[in-house]
Amino acid sequence: MTYKELADLIFPNVKDIKYYEEKYPERNLPEGAIVTRFAPSPTGFVHIGGLYQSLVAKTVANKTKGVFFLRVEDTDQKREVENGITDIVNSLKTFDMAPDEGMISDTEEIGNYGPYKQSLRKDIYQSYAKYMIEMGKAYPCFCTPEEGEELRKKQEAAKVRTGYYGVWAKCRNYSIDEMVEKIKNGEEYVIRFKSPGREDRKIKHKDVIKGNVDFPENDQDIVIIKSDGLPTYHFAHAVDDHLMRTTHVIRSDEWLSSVPLHLQLFQELGFKAPKYAHISPIMKNDNGNKRKLSKRKDPEAAVSYYEEMGVPALAVKEYLLNIANSSFENWRRQNKDAKIEDFDFSLNKMSVSGALFDMVKLLDVSKIVISKFSAEEVYKKALKWAETHDEELTKMLENKEYSLKILNIERGNSKPRKDIAKWSDVKDNIIYMYDDKFLNANIEYPYQIINNKEDINKILNLYIEKYYNEEDDKQTWFEKIKELAGQMGYAKEVKEFKQNPEMYKAHVGDVSTVLRIALTGRTNTPDMYEIMQVLGKDSIIKRFQKARKIL
Ligand code: GLU
């Protein structure tokens, strides 16, 4: 009996690998183009680390005129959940990171290198497994799970490495005839790789992110095809990334220790190995301890969290680039209005030890990102978010013209307002501008330096009767507040007050504060002149009346 006959017995009906080699030719791309992928398992939770990986992968692919594709790794069917693929596809879409190729919905895909869903590639893996058997580089293993368990115990007792390797790899020593006989007798089996490696020899690997790493060679005869006919991750990775012509495998560093095995698989299959870039996990500072962002403990670990909070996709991406390359921050300082795509991202400048994730910083970045949006953009995005998350805000935004006026306050200038970090902040930020809300609300007016009833009453009365004029420009408007301050015995200039504090009870700023609080119930608001312009005289009068009533 020959290996060829053994292979035919095991996989009688699969195509020759030549068929696939021709079907999926080398890609015709410009020199230096990076082909890379996001290859998640559809387990129902899209982790921010996955988005981070995709962003890195997509960025380098786009920059080099390469390809970024989405492959779904669903060969472990026990772990699969309903909507798993849809969740992944939608997350990428939400972040404007749809792949160039691969799955675009639960069932549809685009691109010439598919199928991009591993469970649909069974025949392909089997062709390559057959090829390995034909070459004597893979063999059927008949060990039962109980035998596997026994082997492990023996190895532990003998204090040697556990696993299926060398002298412990019982089935690798059967003759072809013995293998054939067992198969014909109906014994169950898996297919194992016959590793040519030796543990006492070292291999050198140059990782794009981690740099030079030395490993002992792989000597484990790992399973490549399971008893259900589907491949293991390792084998599928080699076959897929070869046939999909991946140039760079960008993945989580939990796979770094598998590199010796993967390089060996590529070598034995006769494939050119891709470059590897292993990304360290995103870390979090937890009371002084650095630990991985955890699906269980940290809500911000879920990609869905950002959508729920209304953090714009662009802000999340901008922040992730910030932690991916430390030079981003400097670049941003010098290129305030540039698109993130223009940043010269570099894979090998990524942190070896794991970027630190900081929600406060992310929200700060988000404030800046939102400050650059036009009122119209803020309006659209906030409304879209509100429609699924906040009925009251949706109603408030129904009056588009008025809402736009509010959102336009201190926007579109050189120092735009930075008080919105996420769409869920918008309601609190603008609610006081709506008369139906403000006039009916229970307001506690937080008066400051000027806090006596008499003075407040007088300021509000005098202001509306004598000084306020809707037609005034900003300078005249402020001059009038100064005059009002002077008329009431307050310093008209802050400087003057500071020089002669004993002469005055307070100054013009304190008078403004009274007006601001009476108008809005708040000490902190955007520009009061603009607020008054938007509110209009009627509303101002009503607000002052309300304030006086509550004095
Ligand atoms: N399915 C693997 C995972 O989710 C993919 C690893 C890879 O990118 O190769 O961890």
Cα 386 to Cα 19, 102, 379, 478, distances in angstroms: 52, 32, 10, 36
| pLDDT given for residue 353 in this prediction | 86
User: How far is Cα 174 from Cα 292, in angstroms, rounded to an integer?
Assistant: 45
Written out in words, the top-level CATH class of the domain with range 453-550 is mainly alpha
Helix (H, G, I), strand (E, B) or coil at 295: coil
Helix (H, G, I), strand (E, B) or coil at 143: coil
Q: Which two tokens stand for residue 5?
A: 């006959």
Q: Which amino acid is at 321?
A: L
Q: Is residue 73 within 8 Å of 102, Cβ to Cβ?
A: no
Q: Using the mean position of ligand 1's atoms as its centre, give its distance from the Cα of residue 279 in Å.
A: 12
Mutating to test ligand 1, I would choose from 52, 70, 251, 254 the residue with most ligand atoms within 8 A of its C-beta, which is 251
Quick one: which atom of ligand 1 is closest to the CA of 37? 8
Q: Using the mean position of ligand 1's atoms as its centre, give its distance from the Cα of residue 312 in Å.
A: 27
Q: What is the DSSP letter of 25?
A: P
For 95, how many CA atoms within 13 A lie in the half-sphere containing its CB? 29
Could you confirm whether domain 3-14+122-279 is CATH 3.40.50.620?
Answer: yes
Could you confirm whether domain 32-107+280-372 is CATH 3.40.50.261?
Answer: no
Q: Using the mean position of ligand 1's atoms as its centre, give its distance from the Cα of residue 390 in Å.
A: 36
Q: Identify any residues that bridge with 204 across adjacent strands, giving them in sequence order.
A: 214
Q: Is 39 in the pocket of ligand 1 (CB under 6 A)?
A: yes
Closest CA to 500 of 487, 515, 490: 490
User: How far is Cα 313 from Cα 239, in angstroms, rounded to an integer?
Assistant: 34
Q: Is 371 in the pocket of ligand 1 (CB under 6 A)?
A: no
Q: Which amino acid is at 451?
A: N
Nearest CA to ligand 1 atom 5: 39
**Residue labelled with tokens 């560093």:** 253
Quick one: which atom of ligand 1 is closest to the CA of 241? 9
Quick one: which atom of ligand 1 is closest to the CA of 40? 4
Helix (H, G, I), strand (E, B) or coil at 204: strand
Q: Is 251 in the pocket of ligand 1 (CB under 6 A)?
A: yes
Q: Using the mean position of ligand 1's atoms as its centre, give its distance from the Cα of residue 133 in Å.
A: 26
Quick one: which atom of ligand 1 is closest to the CA of 255? 6
Mutating to test ligand 1, I would choose from 52, 58, 233 the residue with most ligand atoms within 8 A of its C-beta, which is 233
Mutating to test ligand 1, I would choose from 35, 36, 37, 41 the residue with most ligand atoms within 8 A of its C-beta, which is 41
Residue 25's CB: how many other CB atoms inside 10 A? 11
Nearest CA to ligand 1 atom 10: 40
Quick one: which atom of ligand 1 is closest to the CA of 53? 8
Quick one: which atom of ligand 1 is closest to the CA of 73? 1
Q: Is 248 in the pocket of ligand 1 (CB under 6 A)?
A: no
Domain with CATH 1.10.10.350 in the chain: 453-550
Q: Is 237 in the pocket of ligand 1 (CB under 6 A)?
A: yes
Q: Using the mean position of ligand 1's atoms as its centre, give its distance from the Cα of residue 209 in Å.
A: 17
Q: Is 73 in the pocket of ligand 1 (CB under 6 A)?
A: yes
Q: Using the mean position of ligand 1's atoms as its centre, give its distance from the Cα of residue 254 in Å.
A: 9
What pTM value is reported for the model?
Answer: 0.91
Q: Is 58 in the pocket of ligand 1 (CB under 6 A)?
A: no
Quick one: which atom of ligand 1 is closest to the CA of 251? 8
Sheet strands (E) in 259-398: 275-279, 283-286, 289-292, 356-357
Q: Using the mean position of ligand 1's atoms as its centre, give its distance from the Cα of residue 80 in Å.
A: 14
Task: Report the 3 state secondary structure along 252-285.
Answer: EHHHHHHHHHHHHHHHHHCCCCCEEEEECCCEEE
Nearest CA to ligand 1 atom 3: 40
Calculate the CA 467 to chain-centre distance: 53
Planar angle of CA 538, 540, 541, nearest 5 degrees: 65
Closest CA to 325 of 346, 353, 352, 341: 346
Backbone angles phi, psi at 193, to 5 degrees: -80, 135
Quick one: which atom of ligand 1 is closest to the CA of 237? 9
Q: Is 274 in the pocket of ligand 1 (CB under 6 A)?
A: no
| pLDDT given for residue 414 in this prediction | 87
Q: What is the largest CA-CA distance in the chain?
A: 112
Residue 323's CB: how many other CB atoms inside 10 A? 21
Q: Is 40 in the pocket of ligand 1 (CB under 6 A)?
A: yes
Q: Using the mean position of ligand 1's atoms as its centre, give its distance from the Cα of residue 250 in Å.
A: 9
Domain with CATH 3.40.50.620 in the chain: 3-14+122-279, 32-107+280-372
Helix (H, G, I), strand (E, B) or coil at 123: helix
Backbone angles phi, psi at 100, to 5 degrees: -75, -30
Nearest CA to ligand 1 atom 4: 40
User: How far is Cα 193 from Cα 223, in angstroms, rounded to an integer?
Assistant: 6
User: How far is Cα 126 from Cα 53, in angstroms, rounded to an integer?
Assistant: 29
Closest CA to 490 of 457, 518, 455, 529: 455
Q: Is 223 in the pocket of ligand 1 (CB under 6 A)?
A: no
Q: Which two tokens stand for residue 143?
A: 């060990």
Query: Which pLDDT tens digits describe the chain residue by residue (551 residues)?
Result: 899 999 999 999 999 999 999 999 999 999 999 999 999 999 888 999 999 999 999 999 999 999 999 999 999 877 667 889 999 999 999 999 999 999 999 999 999 999 999 999 999 999 999 999 999 999 999 999 999 999 999 999 999 999 999 999 999 999 999 999 999 999 999 999 999 999 999 999 999 999 999 999 999 999 999 999 999 999 999 999 999 999 999 999 999 999 999 999 999 999 999 999 999 999 999 999 999 999 999 999 999 999 999 999 999 999 999 999 999 999 999 999 999 999 999 998 998 888 999 999 999 999 999 999 999 999 999 999 999 999 999 999 999 999 999 999 999 888 999 999 999 999 999 999 999 999 999 999 999 999 999 999 999 999 999 999 999 999 999 999 999 999 999 999 999 999 999 999 999 999 999 999 999 999 999 999 999 999 999 999 999 999 999 98
Backbone angles phi, psi at 283, to 5 degrees: -105, 165
User: How far is Cα 63 from Cα 200, in angstroms, rounded to an integer?
Assistant: 41
User: How far is Cα 27 from Cα 113, in angstroms, rounded to an integer?
Assistant: 10
Nearest CA to ligand 1 atom 2: 40
| pLDDT given for residue 201 in this prediction | 96
Quick one: which atom of ligand 1 is closest to the CA of 38? 8
Q: Using the mean position of ligand 1's atoms as its centre, give its distance from the Cα of residue 446 in Å.
A: 55
Element housing 528 (H / E):
helix 528-550
Treating both helix axes as pointing N-terminal to C-terminal, what angle do 359-371 and 313-324 enclose, rounded to 10 degrees?
120
Sheet strands (E) in 372-457: none
Q: Is 74 in the pocket of ligand 1 (CB under 6 A)?
A: no
